[in-house]
Amino acid sequence: MVHDRAMARTSESVQALSIRRVWIAQGCIACGWCGDLLPGVFARSGQGLSQIAAAARKDCTTDANAESRSPLRAKLAGDEADFLAFVAAGCPPAVIQFD
């Protein structure tokens, strides 16, 4: 089911995608999905919750980025943006947000 939802969400956005900010909304279940697939963007807290890695952010802070919504150091475009959209679509609680 997660795979079906991910494929449906990514196929809706056939246009060229460009992502400049990523954040984690409340409700992370610490499954590790995002960090396992995109360790350069996602990190895990001491409690195992997903966070946006400092190395990926302009403000060099590691947290959920839900409040500050710091931009990424470099925009994700093309295949990288599509893969992040796939990861977000496959997130079991659907808490990975981006623009």
Is CATH 3.10.580.10 the right assignment for the domain spanning 2-98?
Answer: no
Q: What gap in Å lies between CA 97 and CA 84, rounded to an integer?
A: 10
Q: What gap in Å lies between CA 41 and CA 72, rounded to an integer?
A: 9
Taking Cα atoms as reference points, which of 95, 82, 81 lies closest to residue 7?
82
- Residue with the bigger pLDDT between 1 and 34: it is 34
Q: What gap in Å lies between CA 16 and CA 18, rounded to an integer?
A: 7
pLDDT recorded at residue 3 = 44
pLDDT, tens digit (0-9, with 9 covering 90-100), for 46-65: 999 999 999 999 999 999 99
DSSP state at residue 39: T
Considering all CA atoms of the chain, what is the largest pairwise distance in Å, rounded to the nearest integer? 37
Q: Per-domain residue ranges for the chain?
A: 2-98
Query: What is the pLDDT of the chain when averaged over all its residues?
Result: 89
pLDDT recorded at residue 15 = 62
